[in-house]
Amino acid sequence: MSDYVELSNLTKGFPGSTGPVIIVRDFNLHIQRGEFVTLIGHSGCGKSTVLSMLAGLCPVTSGAIVLAGRELTGPGPDRGVVFQSPSLLPWLTAFKNVMLGVDQVFFTAPRSERARIAEYYLSVVGLADAMHKRPSELSQGMRQRVGIARAFALSPKMLLLDEPFGMLDSLTRFELQQVLVNLWSRNAVTALMVTHDVDEALFLSDRIVMMTNGPEAGVGDILDVTFSRPRERRAVIEHSDYQRLRDHLIDFLETRAHLRPNQTPAPHRPPPSAPASRPVNRPVVRPREPLTADVLAVTPG
């Protein structure tokens, strides 16, 4: 299978007070069709910047993005975006929020067909009974479900998710991760997701891309995650490789994230203090939470 998405030497600079500040430099990543890739790294390293360049919401300083053989030049509904805040339009019902995009993408289809698409995705994310409510009547978790349905309903070439579960409590987060896994197993869209959460990354991804700290952040390391699909949380966590992969990620974030990609750690380094002293919230390495059957069940949150 050939590369479906290619990010080549992607670089982004913002004008700063003392000349341009390069946030991301020479970010290279190839993603296969149908692959789920997660981007993990310290806060402020530029994960969202990479994602918004892919979404076309933020112009590229240099480098190129190719999706399905075509260079991207701007935003478009061929990429479904799930934002950190659900960013639903508050004056539209959940259904109409989804329809806004469906109408745009499937404008040749008859209205009944378009409504069927929106209804289908809303029911798959568990909102069959709440699809005619406005966002203000929905819980945070339900709103994010709508956001996910909205992105999938576009039948996009690629999904872009920027910490889609970052604002949710951990129970709701588990539920929605499962929703995402279920949706994705029906319809393996190429996906790039940003997360702070090591366990989330392991549960969802085929590959995890670890970003070095900014400025001039790039790809530090890549981890293959080969748990069989469809995935089930308990099976993943109990897998014999799980702890090893998790340790690898944590080791990168704690000791190697501040190094440029071509550097290698010195043999006898003092304990890493640089990342810990940064005034940023660090990736969540939560102790494993005890799992119960109802946590795993998918119910509207």
Ligand X SMILES: Nc1ncnc2c1ncn2[C@@H]1O[C@H](COP(=O)(O)OP(=O)(O)OP(=O)(O)O)[C@@H](O)[C@H]1O
Q: Report the residue number whose CB is nearest to ligand X.
A: 48
Q: Contacts with another protein: how many residues (CB under 8 A)?
A: 22
- Binder of ligand X out of 48, 144, 195, 205 (CB under 6 A): 48
Cα of 7 vs its chain's centroid, Å = 16
Q: Say whether residue 283 binds ligand X (CB under 6 A).
A: no
Residues 207-226 that bind ligand X (CB under 6 A): 214
Q: Which tokens go with 287?
A: 């102790």
Do 170 and 289 form a contact (C-beta atoms < 8 A)? yes
Binding track, positions 132-171, relative to another protein; x by CB under 8 A = --x-x-----------------x-----------------
Sign of the C-alpha dihedral computed for residues 196, 202, 206 and 211 taken in this order: positive
Binding track, positions 10-49, relative to another protein; x by CB under 8 A = ----------------------------------------
- Binder of another protein out of 41, 56, 141, 283 (CB under 8 A): 56
Do 218 and 25 form a contact (C-beta atoms < 8 A)? yes
Fill in the DSSP letter of residue 256. I
Distance CA 153, CA 157 (A): 11
Q: How far is the CB of 52 from ligand X (least distance, A)?
A: 8
Comparing CB distances to Mg ion, the nearer of 270 and 279 is: 279
Fill in the DSSP letter of residue 254. I
Q: Say whether residue 76 binds ligand X (CB under 6 A).
A: no
Distance CA 164, CA 176 (A): 9
Question: Which of 206, 178, 181, 202 lies closest to 192 in space, CA to CA?
Answer: 206
Q: Say whether residue 14 binds ligand X (CB under 6 A).
A: yes
Comparing CB distances to Mg ion, the nearer of 173 and 231 is: 173
Distance CA 217, CA 258 (A): 9
Q: How far is the CB of 277 from ligand X (least distance, A)?
A: 16
- Binder of ligand X out of 8, 11, 32, 43 (CB under 6 A): 43
Q: Say whether residue 46 binds ligand X (CB under 6 A).
A: yes
Do 230 and 181 form a contact (C-beta atoms < 8 A)? yes
User: Cβ of 92: how many Cβ atoms within 10 Å?
Assistant: 14
Q: Which does 91 bind (CB under 5 to 8 A by kind): Mg ion, another protein, ligand X, none?
A: another protein
Residues 6+ apart with CB under 8 A from 187: 152
Q: How far is the CB of 231 from Mg ion (least distance, A)?
A: 25
Do 192 and 39 form a contact (C-beta atoms < 8 A)? yes
Q: Say whether residue 83 binds another protein (CB under 8 A).
A: yes
Do 259 and 218 form a contact (C-beta atoms < 8 A)? no
Q: Which does 57 bind (CB under 5 to 8 A by kind): ligand X, another protein, Mg ion, none?
A: another protein
Kindly report whether the peptide bond that precedes residue 215 is cis, defined as omega within 30 degrees of 0.
Answer: yes
Residues 45-64 that bind Mg ion (CB under 5 A): 48
Q: How far is the CB of 74 from another protein (least distance, A)?
A: 8
Distance CA 103, CA 108 (A): 9
Q: Say whether residue 258 binds another protein (CB under 8 A).
A: no
Q: Which residues bind ligand X (CB under 6 A)?
A: 14, 23, 41, 43-49, 214
Q: Which residues bind Mg ion (CB under 5 A)?
A: 48
